[in-house]
Amino acid sequence: MELSIIFLPLIASIISGFFGRYIGDRNSEIVTSALVTISALLSIHVLYQVIVNQYEENIVIATWISSGSLDVNWSMLIDPLSSVMLVVVTSVSALVHIYSIGYMSHDPHKPRFMAYLSLFTFAMLMLVTSDNFIQLFFGWEGVGLCSYFLIGFWFKKESANAAAIKAFVVNRVGDFGFALGIFLIFYLFGTVNYSEVFQQIPTVVDKNLSFLGLEVKAIDLICLLLFIGAMGKSAQILLHTWLPDAMEGPTPVSALIHAATMVTAGVFLVVRCSPIYEYSPLILNFITIVGMTTAFFAATVALVQTDIKKIIAYSTCSQLGYMFFAAGVGAYNVAMFHLFTHAFFKALLFLGSGSVIHAFKDEQDINNMGGVWKKLPYTYALMIIGTLALTGFPFLSGFYSKDAIIEFAYLKGNTTGYYAAGIGIFTAFLTSIYSWRLIFKTFHGQYNNKNVKIEETHESPLVMLIPLIILSIGAIFAGFLFKNLFIGHGGENLFWAESIKFLEPLSTEHPPTWFLLLTPCLVLLSIPIAYYLFVKNKELPNEIANMNKPLYNFLVNKWYFDELYEVIFIKPSKKLGLFFWKFCDGKLIDGFGPDGISSFIKKCSIKANKFQSGFIYQYAFVMLLGFSALLTFLIVK
């Protein structure tokens, strides 16, 4: 039964991908949605078993690679961590499948789209249920591949193709680190199996490695390399550039892959490897810093973007930052909790924005929207729920998880912890501002679209609204319901059992009351501020932007990362490629090698040709010369 959770999506993908032409669009949609839904129901059942009966199992499906001492199996590991991921992945995926039936109704390639979605689900499930690093890597690259396919789904768009390749290649940079991490693990432990590796970790705590003359602690190096992989997949600063571009894909894809599931794989990796990370305070600090920087950076950029999907993409980036700094301060369970709640409200926001885009007939610029809240009442209400949950409005799901992150950062009690908490609070405020900006500019104010008349905008069909409603229920209640289970104080982490390791139990104290109230107050305060800025006095934001032109440009251009990479990586690689090709291969190697030799021989033979002039007197002269030389030689000798 457990295996069918993984393989139903694969079967769905094969049916829709290879036989979609024969069974028709509608049947492909029904088959894929149905199979993934069954898989989701089974996952919920498994999670229930894990919660109630502490069910755990490690199923070996088949051997994959066995070379020398390396043994890798295809396997399925069910433990608290993977069962939570199972539920997140399959349930969001099932909802997105159903939503896509409506959203993609005008697309000519429906079976292909559904096949990719199901294939993605399969790869993601392989990733989360692996019991070793190499199957994890398989899933890791597999989801990257599906993401590549889906970003470039509209293959005629040049920008979509570019974004797809960018996503894959940037992820490969992360994978480069990840793969090296796996090599190092294999080198040190002779195995890539989680449980065997985690068991041996305490034995290498003091081991040093020298690399390029540097002495590094082996554990730090492993953690760093794995984290580079996580940074790529989870779009953390420096390797984040692909995520906003990935919005070129259809919106359901953004909801499933670039919000709820794939991008959280990095967080999952760090949490899964908590038995390693716990021994590396240095890298944990580093993760905290990267996490909070990303959270802050992405929030600032989101403030000024005008593409509805890009705003949500940067918001995702920022929330992933939160998850990482939770993991960085050692609160892995809180990171998982935020991952869990975030999946609901972020998928809700994306699908909601998809509904808006649908209503405006593929318009994505929020400057060309506005004033339609009465026309799209359900979408409006659902987006409001998503926004409230994201910003951490009291008693919605984001409130519990995000505030817990800030609290634990504060309780960490060291400098990074305080900084992280401070930045976390400030970023929460920014989050609130840009989220409400999106809502107000999209739904309030006056109608700004020139291409579509306001009468033509319409509410989405039921098949799109029902998944939204289900997600909104999750966005409202997930935090409240699962709070005790995931991050409950006392009875210390009964639920997570062995799947997350804490060297020292997390602090059970409470921060001071003023601190607890700070974030919710800021969040509440931000709503009237945003309303004033983006509905009442619309000139003010423009004036502020004009007054601080350099800062504004800096933000609009996303801190100039793309331009920077263009200058330091892309252009030099192309130039180097040309140089090595035209100059090294062409001029040097061929020039002095085969071409050089053949032209040299040609020259020699032309010279030699000249000897055979055909004139007897020349021959006689040469003979005479030779004869006299020989004679001289003999006499002298």
Nearer to another protein, 25 or 278 (CB): 25
Nearer to another protein, 46 or 185 (CB): 185
Structure tokens at 108: 């000519």
CA–CA separation, 76 vs 125, rounded Å? 9
- From the CB of 12, what's the least distance to another protein, in Å? 18
* DSSP string covering 32-92: HHHHHHHHHHHHHHHHHHHHHH---EEEEEEEEEEETTEEEEEEEEESHHHHHHHHHHHHH
- From the CB of 148, what's the least distance to another protein, in Å? 8
- From the CB of 250, what's the least distance to another protein, in Å? 16
- From the CB of 522, what's the least distance to another protein, in Å? 42
Q: Round the CA-based radius of gyration of the chain to a whole number and report it.
A: 31
Nearer to another protein, 179 or 276 (CB): 179
CA–CA separation, 149 vs 63, rounded Å? 28
- From the CB of 514, what's the least distance to another protein, in Å? 49
Nearer to another protein, 155 or 621 (CB): 155
- From the CB of 590, what's the least distance to another protein, in Å? 5
Give the single-character DSSP code of 581: I
Please give the span between the terminal C-alpha atoms of the chain, in angstroms, as a whole number.
102
Q: How many residues does the chain have?
A: 637
- From the CB of 204, what's the least distance to another protein, in Å? 16
Q: Which amino acid is at 436?
A: W
Query: Which residues in this chain contact another protein in the complex, by CB under 8 A?
Result: 62-70, 134, 137-138, 141-142, 145, 148, 152, 155-156, 158, 161, 164-165, 168-169, 172-173, 175-176, 179-180, 182-184, 186-187, 209, 211-212, 573-574, 576-578, 580-581, 584-585, 589-590, 593-594, 597-598
Nearer to another protein, 140 or 344 (CB): 140
- From the CB of 109, what's the least distance to another protein, in Å? 9
Nearer to another protein, 65 or 517 (CB): 65
- From the CB of 505, what's the least distance to another protein, in Å? 36
- From the CB of 142, what's the least distance to another protein, in Å? 7
Nearer to another protein, 141 or 407 (CB): 141
Residues 6+ apart with CB under 8 A from 127: 136, 138, 139, 140, 142, 143, 265, 268
Nearer to another protein, 137 or 486 (CB): 137
- From the CB of 241, what's the least distance to another protein, in Å? 15
Nearer to another protein, 14 or 469 (CB): 14
Nearer to another protein, 498 or 595 (CB): 595
* DSSP string covering 366-423: GGG--S-TTTSHHHHHHHHHHHHHHHT-TTSHHHHHHHHHHHHHHHH-SHHHHHHHHH
Nearer to another protein, 190 or 520 (CB): 190
CA–CA separation, 11 vs 82, rounded Å? 21
Could you give the C-alpha distances from 194 to 59, 63, 84, 176, 269, in angstroms and in order?
A: 14, 16, 18, 20, 11
Does residue 520 contact residue 268 with C-beta atoms inside 8 Å? no
Structure tokens at 315: 């918001």
Helix, coil or strand: residue 217: strand
Q: Which amino acid is at 148?
A: Y
Backbone angles phi, psi at 393, to 5 degrees: -65, 135
Reported in sequence order, the residue ranges of 140-246 that DSSP labels E, i.e. its strands, are: 208-211, 214-217
* DSSP string covering 518-558: HHHHHHHHHHHHHHIIIII-THHHHHHHHHTHHHHHHHHTG
